[in-house]
């Protein structure tokens, strides 16, 4: 039995004494302990070494005390497993030397045996579960098929992902074939994560907001829906689409347990657009963690008041920034834990 199951209870819509709290990218770059490991090991070595991934996952649980852990990994382990080369370059971020831009390129992309290609992730889950010792639940995750396509086609991060959108609009057959391959791989990957012991999964549609509402339905949402359909009877599924306020209704009706909301959508609008009956997660502006700790605590209370304590998971509206002081991250977590005691 998990000792602190607040996160899982909120996902199920149960009444809670306070909302649970965790932070996207909490296992990472703002922590000095993480940076010490970063000095010794390159990014994908950290992802592929179960002992390192487990250590990094558990660090924030010990240091700032959130109500859930999220496995240290990366959304781009999926394309790596699919025969798409991915590097992580300092100062550049993800770098894919051979972008997928034609049907011939798509044909070279494989749907792998996830146990063969991504076994190191499942080993990391087992080690992490041992180290967590049932203190809090463990979240597994994957990128949305559209978000993975963005990197696979663009070849790197982008402000507009024009190459990715160009493939969808000029070669839709190739785009849909690639999206389906990514979807099939992601479903197998997340199912294996659940079988290995994660307690919930989150789908990150980081670049969904790059698409118009009509194109979002065509090139992103219908593939996310396939993933939700495949997983919802096995575990709790959270869908997070950055900039995707226009799709909150579809997300709420998808069978997912919760929807992540970014900081550009107010609590009131998120409740209204989602129909008011699903757990919402979010949506503190990550840059606001640069405010003084006292100000952070005041704003967190206002955020929870706006969402309501039930059917709500306190989180950021996107990943924590590398320049956030640990004390400020801790103030965010503590403010949620103190809610109702003011």
Whether 342 is covered by a domain: the verdict is: no
What CATH number is given to the structural domain containing 233?
3.20.20.210
Q: What confidence tens digit (pLDDT) does each residue in 131-171 have? A: 999 999 999 999 999 999 999 999 999 999 999 999 999 99
| Residue 220 in marked binding region | no
Number of domains composing the chain: 1
Structural domain harbouring 149 = 6-337
Give the integer Cα–Cα distance in Å for 217 and 195.
30
| Residue 216 in marked binding region | no
| Residue 318 in marked binding region | yes
Whether 288 is covered by a domain: the verdict is: yes
Q: How much of the chain, in percent, has pLDDT values that exceed 70?
A: 100
With a CB cutoff of 8 Å and minimum separation 6, the contacts of 36 are none
Whether 1 is covered by a domain: the verdict is: no
| Residue 27 in marked binding region | yes
Q: Which of 338, 314, 235, 332 is nearest to 7 (CA)?
A: 314
Beta-bridge partners for 94: 88
Whether 300 is covered by a domain: the verdict is: yes
244 touches 226 (CB < 8 A): no
Burial tier of 44 (Cβ tally within 10 Å: 0-12, 13-18, 19+): middle
According to DSSP, residue 116 is labeled H
| Residue 176 in marked binding region | no
| Residue 41 in marked binding region | no
User: In Å, what is the CA distance from 172 to each residue of 89, 177, 309?
Assistant: 30, 8, 43
Q: What confidence tens digit (pLDDT) does each residue in 300-320 have? A: 999 999 999 999 999 999 999
Give the integer Cα–Cα distance in Å for 206 and 240.
8
- The distance from CA 251 to its chain's CA centroid, rounded to whole angstroms, is 15
Dihedral sign for Cα atoms in the order 152, 155, 159, 163:
negative
Whether 129 is covered by a domain: the verdict is: yes
> CA torsion 318→320→321→324, rounded to 10°?
140
pLDDT at position 36 = 96
| Residue 74 in marked binding region | yes
With a CB cutoff of 8 Å and minimum separation 6, the contacts of 305 are none
Residue 233: pLDDT band (50, 70, 90) is very high
Whether 323 is covered by a domain: the verdict is: yes
Give the integer Cα–Cα distance in Å for 331 and 205.
28
With a CB cutoff of 8 Å and minimum separation 6, the contacts of 223 are 144, 145, 146, 179, 180, 182, 183
Rg (CA), the chain: 19
In whole numbers, what is the pLDDT of the chain averaged over residues? 97
Please count the other Cβ atoms lying within 10 Å of the Cβ belonging to residue 338.
13
| Residue 29 in marked binding region | yes
Q: What confidence tens digit (pLDDT) does each residue in 255-283 have? A: 999 999 999 999 999 999 999 999 999 99
Give the integer Cα–Cα distance in Å for 328 and 332.
6
């Amino acid at each position: 039995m998990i000792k602190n199951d607040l996160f899982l209870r909120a996902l199920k819509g149960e009444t809670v004494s306070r909302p649970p709290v965790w932070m996207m990218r909490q296992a990472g770059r703002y922590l000095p302990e993480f940076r010490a490991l970063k000095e010794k090991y390159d990014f994908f070595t950290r992802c592929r070494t179960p002992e390192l991934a487990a250590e990094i996952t558990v660090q924030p649980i010990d240091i700032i005390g959130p109500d859930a852990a999220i496995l240290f990994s990366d959304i781009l382990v999926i394309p790596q497993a699919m025969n798409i080369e991915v590097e992580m370059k300092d100062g550049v971020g993800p770098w894919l030397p051979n972008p997928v831009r034609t049907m011939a390129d798509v044909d070279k992309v494989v749907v792998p045996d996830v146990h063969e290609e991504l076994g190191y992730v499942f080993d990391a889950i087992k080690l992490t579960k041992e180290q967590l010792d049932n203190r809090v639940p463990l979240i597994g995750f994957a990128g949305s098929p559209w978000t993975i396509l963005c990197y696979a086609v663009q070849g790197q991060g982008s402000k507009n992902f024009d190459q990715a959108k160009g493939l969808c609009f000029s070669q839709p057959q190739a785009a849909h074939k690639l999206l389906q391959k990514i979807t099939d791989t992601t479903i197998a990957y997340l199912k294996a994560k659940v079988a290995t012991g994660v307690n919930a999964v989150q789908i990150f549609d980081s670049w969904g907001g790059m698409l118009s509402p009509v194109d979002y339905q065509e090139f992103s949402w219908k593939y996310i829906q396939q993933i939700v359909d495949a997983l919802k009877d096995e575990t709790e599924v959270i869908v997070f689409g950055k900039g995707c306020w226009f799709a909150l209704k579809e997300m709420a009706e998808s069978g997912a347990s919760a929807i992540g909301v970014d900081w550009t959508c107010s609590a009131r609008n998120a409740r209204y657009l989602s129909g008011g009956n699903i757990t919402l997660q979010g949506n503190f502006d990550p840059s606001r963690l640069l405010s003084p700790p006292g100000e952070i605590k005041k704003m967190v209370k206002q955020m929870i008041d706006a969402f309501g304590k039930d059917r709500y998971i306190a989180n950021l509206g996107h990943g924590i920034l590398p320049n956030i002081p640990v004390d400020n991250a801790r103030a965010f977590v503590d403010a949620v834990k103190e809610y109702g005691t003011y």
